[in-house]
Copies of this chain bind each other. A is one copy, B any other.
Amino acid sequence: MLESGPVAVLGATGVVGTELLRMISQRGIPAEDVRAMASGGESSVAYGAGLIPVHPVREQVFDDVRTVFLAAGAEASRTWTPIALAAGCDVIDTSSAHRMDPDVPLVIPEVNGEELDRLKASPRLVANPNCSTILLLMALTPLHRSWGCERIVVSTYQAVSGAGAAAMDELRTQTRSMLDGDRIVSECFGEPCAFNVFSHDSAIDASTGRNGEEQKMLQETARIWNADVPVSATCVRVPVLRSHTESIHVELGTATTVEAVRSAITAFPGVSVIDDRAANDFPTPWKASDGDLVLVGRIRMAADARLQSDGRGDRFEMLCSMDQLRKGAALNAIQLAEGLKSI
């Protein structure tokens, strides 16, 4: 519930912005207290049962706003963050612009929510981690707390919506063209996305060979856990519209059992365990989409686990899915604002 002053959403017509508006509406904030801003030219956007106007971003808007959600990309975040802070706003940035700034907390509330306490009074700036990092750490933090994660190997199955609404349209259009035997057009990615999988479309560092998404998972994990845990990530796009999946292999500092791992994950907030071996029922993007929960399953001892005589081992595997537009972005951002008591 709104405590004082309106809420602004930059990038209000994008895939994350529309989710943010949906969640702000669900929290009972009246339409007249919401400023939807975007550069795309749309004149209105859905809000609750109705529509609210969309305006281009103007500096003057922030004078009348308590909380600003930035969901218009890193460049827009770099431009508007100082202006919003100067106007006294709290700023929740879903972009990568401030994630590695040591003065800006990078927060998943369930994982390191205590970081929000560092920020005493408005104006305050908090960065929302990358969606792939959020999925990884929502699944692994219960293990890290109990047994210490020493090494992570993760392969992602990422939805095209991580690249925005245009990428979702391209997947639909390309797919239909393929089925109809028509020529396909690839504009969003360097590769066809229909019935294909390909290495994540972020730039590759020439010396490490890691792409931007993989580097984010490595660096953000170190910041959020405040621990130097190597994350060997391989980030791949799949022809899925919504929700990311990750295949995770983890080495623990202390050996334990599958049952103890499953219990720890089950007890963690924001996570739901779907792990029915007999029915082959495990997390999928379909099950995760439009939900708030991170789904975890296929929890098992890894083939290379070093077993103790009592059956405990040190390496585990799991498969996880999450709606990356919600807990990976909009929901986490809303939780951050709630943690600051700024909405």
- Name A's B-contacting residues (CB within 8 A): 151-153, 155, 157, 171-172, 175-176, 179, 190-192, 195-199, 201, 203-204, 206, 208-211, 218, 230-234, 236, 238-241, 245, 247, 249, 258, 277-282, 284-286, 297-304, 315, 317, 319
Per a CB cutoff under 8 Å, which of B157, B206, B317 touches A238?
A: B157
Contact A234 B247 (CB under 8 A): yes
Instruction: Give the number of times this chain occurs in the complex, counting copies.
Output: 2
The answer to whether residues A304 and B151 also contact, given A190-B280, A284-B198 and a CB cut-off of 8 A, is yes
Contact B258 A232 (CB under 8 A): no
- Specify which of A190, A218, A285, A317 lies most central, judged by the most chain B CB atoms within 10 Å of its CB: A317
When distances are taken between beta carbons in the complex, the residues of chain B under 8 Å from A195 are 171, 239-241, 285-286
Contact B302 A153 (CB under 8 A): yes
Provide the bound-state CA to CA distance between A190 and B284, in Å: 12
The answer to whether residues A232 and B204 also contact, given A172-B179, A196-B286 and a CB cut-off of 8 A, is no
When distances are taken between beta carbons in the complex, the residues of chain B under 8 Å from A201 are 280
- Specify which of A190, A195, A282 lies most central, judged by the most chain B CB atoms within 10 Å of its CB: A195
The answer to whether residues A233 and B153 also contact, given A179-B175, A197-B245, A280-B203 and a CB cut-off of 8 A, is no
Contact B236 A239 (CB under 8 A): no
Provide the bound-state CA to CA distance between A116 and B156, in Å: 38
Provide the bound-state CA to CA distance between A232 and B160, in Å: 27
Provide the bound-state CA to CA distance between A195 and B239, in Å: 6
- Specify which of A157, A280, A284 lies most central, judged by the most chain B CB atoms within 10 Å of its CB: A280
In the complex, what residue of chain B is closest to A306 when comparing beta carbons?
B230
In the complex, what residue of chain B is closest to A152 when comparing beta carbons?
B304
When distances are taken between beta carbons in the complex, the residues of chain B under 8 Å from A301 are 208-209
Contact A197 B241 (CB under 8 A): no
When distances are taken between beta carbons in the complex, the residues of chain B under 8 Å from A239 are 195, 238-240
When distances are taken between beta carbons in the complex, the residues of chain B under 8 Å from A280 are 190, 199, 201, 203-204, 211
Contact A233 B303 (CB under 8 A): yes
Contact A209 B298 (CB under 8 A): yes
Per a CB cutoff under 8 Å, which of B196, B240, B258, B284 touches A284?
A: B196
